[in-house]
Amino acid sequence: MARVKRGTMKNKRRKNILAQTKGYRFGRSTKERVAKEAIHHAGAHAFRDRRKKKRDYRTLWALRINAAARTEGFTYSTLIGAMKKAGITVDRKVLATLAKDHPEVFTRFTKTLK
């Protein structure tokens, strides 16, 4: 069997790894072993934070709804409770958008619950 020299593939792989760590500081962008580890950690953080982003947005929506609801004499929990009793199914994202961008519509919405 013929001898296989691996320089080409090794260089290609190294080039790809270092391209992924472009902009990283210190040895993370120049040394292959450290760069591999940096890519691995970055991937783990990215995977975790894609899920965390959803949690963060729901928290933000709750804050916006609560702030707007308090100006109307509600609290967040009483507003959501009143909506459930009335059988209104508007999700928190839409409510937060109304509270932030269309406060007059949000005011009319809360008046129907009183």
| Amino acid at residue number 54 | K
Q: Which residues contact 79 (CB under 8 A, 6 or more apart)?
A: 65, 69, 110, 113
Average pLDDT, the chain: 96
Alpha-carbon distance 20 to 83, whole Å? 49
**Which pLDDT band holds residue 5 (cuts at 50, 70, 90)?**
confident
pLDDT at 23 over 90: yes
Domain boundaries, the chain: 9-113
CATH code: domain 9-113 is 1.10.1900.20
Alpha-carbon distance 80 to 67, whole Å? 13
pTM of the model: 0.76
Q: What mean pLDDT comes out for the span 43-66?
A: 98
Phi/psi at 53 (5° precision)? -60, -40
